[in-house]
Structure 1
Amino acid sequence: MGLWLPSFDIFKLKKINMKKVLLIAFFILSSAALYAQAGLKKGGQAPVFTAKDNYGKIISLKTLLKTHKAVVLFFYRGQWCPYCNKHLQQLQDSLQMLTGKGAYVVGVTPETAENINKTIGKTHASFSIVQDKDYKIMKAYDVNYVLDDKTVGAYKKYGIDLDQNNGNTDHVLPVPATYVIDKSGKLVFVHFDKDYRNRPSIRAIADAI
């Protein structure tokens, strides 16, 4: 589990009372269930998947790799996560550079279509975003984990209702990993870090394409 903050605006993080943040972090880190996911390894073959994105478009990894040099596949937790929003904003700001190198960008999340729209409103993301309702993609890429009840309660206390955000009571979230998949279906870049505050740079992603 990583530290989360009771603020939805990444640009206001410095205004939060740090003593309060540290107390919240201690509670969550001490009560959260451990999870064993390790992510997939660089050099391995990427699991194929087919899903519908937020535009109603069928997203097939096999099909995308026939028409693109690479696929940038990343996982995010929800519109309530300021670090996710910052990463999506960075991807959107550099989208022309990534697509110019022949990449297709796909985000995967457990949040509902309504909350995906909130994410888009906050980040102006124009790339494909997939609601992974049954967690098939998250499980295939070994990023899924389940929050324990104490952590779910702590989230809710500070205004983060996972039941509402994800439309169920499963409390499943992804480790916010990023994979770059080349035309042969091989994983040529992997960023997997259980500390959700750490995200790959756009330069590192672009260099792998």
Structure 2
Amino acid sequence: MKTLIFSLFILLSSYSLHAQTGLKVGDKAPEFFAKNSDGKEINLKQLLKENKSVVLFFYRGQWCPYCNKHIKDLQDSLTSLSSKGAYVLGVTPETNESIAKTKGKTKASFSLISDREYKIMKAYKVDFVMEESLVSKYKGYGIDVAKNNGALDAVLPVPATYIIGKNGKIKFVQFDKDYKKRASISEIASLL
């Protein structure tokens, strides 16, 4: 019985790790079409035609202080990043109502997308399903991830940042399963 339980644990752990690999520098950035929280159509291919690069980042939600700080830092540097030809774009599994809370807290004026079906997160290999024990722990802090996502399941992205070049290839990746670590603005700016 212990062997079976251990085997299941290893299988589930490897699935969880498999789902959180991220993409690598040099990979072709997966295409996506979506509407941002303001209802504007967002198309990666079109963004790359109109800009030198796209800074694509994934964030957990309006309840995450590390996400809010990163978004505020991006907003504070938006003029500088835009002057280098970058289009800044954030993706979250949360609803547009939660995105409105994020905008209120951070004053973000760049595009934020609600990835309600997790298609973009899955394409960029940053999605993970929270274990029930973690869901319960978050609820103990007053955070209902599934409700914030407008979903039945609790799915979050690994907070990751990609810089996608005009050729559609990824030229920078910040991917760390430690949700406290984010790409620095100086690092992003130096690669634009």
Fold match by TM threshold 0.5: yes
Within 5 Å, give how 1:160-175 maps onto structure 2: 160-175=143-158
Aligned equivalent of 2:129: 146
Q: Choose from 168, 171, 177 the match for 1:194.
A: 177
How far, CA to CA, are the matches of 1:163 and 1:185 in structure 2?
32
Q: Mapping of 1:80-99 within 5 angstroms?
A: 80-99=63-82
Q: Which residue of structure 2 lines up, in the alignment, with residue 73 of structure 1? A: 56
The corresponding residue for 1:38 is: 21
Q: Tell me the secondary structure at the aligned position of residue 134 of structure 1.
A: coil
The answer to whether 1:118 aligns with 2:101 is yes
Alignment gaps of 5+ in structure 2: 1-11
- Return the letter of the residue paired with 1:130: I
Describe the superposition over 1:72-121 as per-residue Cα deviations: whole angstroms up to 9, x where unpaired.
00000000000000000000000000000000011000001110000000
TM-score under structure 1 normalisation? Answer: 0.83
Count of matched residue pairs:
177
4+ long deviations beyond 4 Å = none
Aligned residue for 2:111? 128
- 1:55 and 1:99 map into 2 onto residues whose CA distance is 19
Deviations 1:154-196 (A, max 9, x none): 1101111112211112101000000000100010100000001
CA distance in 2, matches of 1:164, 1:39: 25
- For 1:174-193, list aligned pairs within 5 A: 174-193=157-176
Superposition RMSD in Å: 0.9
Q: In percent, how many aligned pairs have the same letter?
A: 62
**Structure 1: how far apart are the matches of 2:61 and 2:183?**
18
- 1: CA distance between counterparts of 2:80 and 2:182? 18
Q: Distance in 1 between matches of 2:146 and 2:123?
A: 23
Distance 2:33 2:54 in 1: 13
Distance 1:71 1:140 in 2: 16
> Could you tell me the TM-score, scaled by structure 2's length?
0.90
Question: Which letter maps to 1:198?
Answer: K
